[in-house]
A and B are shown apart, each in its own frame.
Chain A
Amino acid sequence: MRSEILYPGAFPMVRVELAAGEQIKAESGAMVGASPTIDVESKMEGGFLGALSRKLLTGEKFFFQTLRASRGPGEVLLAPTVPGEIVVLELDGVNEYMVQKDGFLAGADTVSIESKMQSFTRGLMGGEGFFILKIGGKGTLILNSFGAIHRIDLKPDQEYIVDNSHMVAWSATTSYNIERASSGWVASFTSGEGFVCRFRGPGVVYIQSRNPGGFGAWIRQFIPVSE
């Protein structure tokens, strides 16, 4: 498969070219268009229980869609629901990424996806919920974000602090602790940051330039209240 990001920026779309017989999995509802040679199937990744746990636990979609070039080569257009950038990663079989639940857009069929329970503190305060996706295997992985995607490279033992609602994906070789943004409880909340994640390298952290929860709170004030 070959992928290309069209219209990079706020409203991108990704074009994936598939050779005959090749297939990819994508978040359900992500397909925008496809060649007539492509078949769309829905598939419960990891079996029924796996899909159920992913749906219940991470809030991810119950079904992934499988796009298969069953009648010859073709292309697929995919786009996320929210405005924001798309990033394409190549997994080499040893690299694994933890991805927050809305971050997955599509991946090669050889990419494995499982939901994973976080530690209690991370789940409670980390901003991504108690369950996240662990994505490994080999092949192309396509992630999307809310806003622009920014990549932070961390050398061994190098640290970086990220607001907890801005995380998209991070290497499994990094680790992070949740801590208050300021030393005092009051200052932590009045500064508007609350909790932050202190990442420690080595590895890569992808963050998004907008906070979905913050955006939701902002837009709520403009929604007329019906009687």
Chain B
Amino acid sequence: MSSSPNALCFGYELPASGAPCLVRFGGQGLTVTFVSESPVGWSEEVPFTALSVSVGGLDHDQLVLKWTGDRGERALYLKDADLIRSFRRSAPESLHAPFEQAAERARLVRRRRRMVWGVVAGAILVLSAGLWRGGDLLVALAVERIPPEWEQKLGESAYRDFLARQDIVKEGPAVSAVQEMTRRLVEQIPNNPYKFEVTVVKSDVVNAFALPGGYIVVFTGLMKKATAAEEVAGVLSHELNHVLQRHGLERIVKRLGLVAAASIVFGDQQGLAGLMKQFGVELMTLKFGREQETEADLTGLQLLYRAKIDPSGMISFFERLSEKDEGRMEWLSTHPMSQGRAERLKAELAAMPKLSPVPFTFEWAAVRESLGVPLPAEP
């Protein structure tokens, strides 16, 4: 039989760290043989009737057998699973109940620990989810606190900066057409806090964008691409609604982070300009999120409807834009298109009562001709 120790024995005259010993169970009791305490090989026989059973150790995972012998109180700490099984096999009936109690206690401690960790992990999950949603809420609160005048100042500086480097179409059929569309749309906005300004920029880029505060740029490339005025009006309505829903501000505040959002909510809004410089956020490169696009689509559709402009132009234009095409379709890169978007708008439109559109006062073909698109040949 091996003589390597399998348990620790504690007692008055034994070392505090425990005396390594070899424990064997027999029919009547156990034998403890000390391995390193002098005299080495000293044995003690303990009858089962003298033993009390409990659990101990840091994790309550050790079986503790205690008895009072000739040399005072003794405690034996067993953690070897085979040894514990051997004890269970040889222990008499009278020790089974205390043993089961001890085992139950050890299991209880383990279960409780697992449960506490489970609860903690759950709490962390809930908390982070809450922060995620709470972050959105904080952004919304921060955006709400920024006054439109200040938003206008922010947008205006970016707008002037941008236009200074562009070839602007100052007058002509294209400008008056866009102005008419804008007027008809803006008239339908209740309590409009913004003074919308639309500029037509000469460029082949198929694009249009809105800056916070109501500054909208339409490229002639987009107008040339459109086969009907309603299509351009659809894009305009979509852009107007980005402004009205303050999507640009939302993106900025989100980019600046929660700390900035919190400082806007609880402190002064003027600091945002400084913060923006600090974080190098460029208004022009801001992209809208998928949810914001959907929102601008739907509110844009409703605005067109109220302005009595045929919304199907918007939908068909979106569809055409999403098809593979040549040219610089930058509107798509800032307004990612998907089949689902057009489908959704179609469904929305179908649910609305039939509209009798009021036509524009200009001829779209003439507008396009002024931009250099030849008149379509009469069939």
Contact = CB atoms under 8 A, between A and B. Distances in A.
A94 B36 CA distance: 12
B12 A92 contact: no
B8 A173 contact: yes
Interface string A105-145: 00000000000010111000000000000000000000000
Interface stretch (A11-19, A71-79, A149-157, A213-221): A149-157
Interface string B16-43: 1110100000000000000110000000
Given A119-B116, A175-B60, A94 B20 contact: yes
Q: Which of A121, A155, A172, A173 has the most CB of B within 10 A?
A: A173
Contacts of B62: 172-173
A174 interface: yes
Nearest to B73: A156
Nearest to B15: A153
A79 to B, nearest CB: 26
Given A119-B113, A175-B58, A176-B58, A155 B18 contact: no
Interface in B42-75: 56-60, 62, 66, 73, 75
Nearest to A171: B17
Nearest to A120: B116
B6 interface: yes
A171 B120 CA distance: 28
A95 B17 contact: yes
B5 interface: yes
Nearest to B74: A156
Q: Which of B36, B56, B62 has the most CB of A within 10 A?
A: B56
Interface size class of B (residues with CB under 8 A): 20 to 34
Contact of B113 (A98, A120, A155): A120
A147 B49 CA distance: 48
Interface in A146-167: 153-156
A207 interface: no
Contacts of B192: none
A117 B113 CA distance: 10
Contacts, number: 76
Interface string B328-365: 00000000000000000000000000000000000000
B16 A202 contact: yes
Contact of A94 (B8, B16, B113): B8
A117 B110 CA distance: 12
Contacts of B117: 117, 120
A203 interface: yes
B16 A153 contact: yes
Contact of B18 (A119, A121, A176, A202): A202
A150 to B, nearest CB: 13
A144 to B, nearest CB: 19
Contacts of B11: 156
Contact of B36 (A92, A96, A121): A92
A202 B36 contact: no
Contacts of A172: 57-59, 62, 79
B75 A202 contact: yes
Nearest to A92: B20
22 contacts: A92-B5, A92-B20, A93-B5, A94-B18, A94-B79, A95-B18, A119-B113, A120-B113, A120-B116, A120-B120, A156-B66, A171-B17, A172-B57, A172-B79, A175-B57, A175-B58, A201-B10, A202-B10, A202-B75, A203-B16, A203-B17, A204-B17
Interface of B: 4-8, 10-12, 15-18, 20, 35-36, 56-60, 62, 66, 73, 75, 77, 79, 113, 116-117, 120
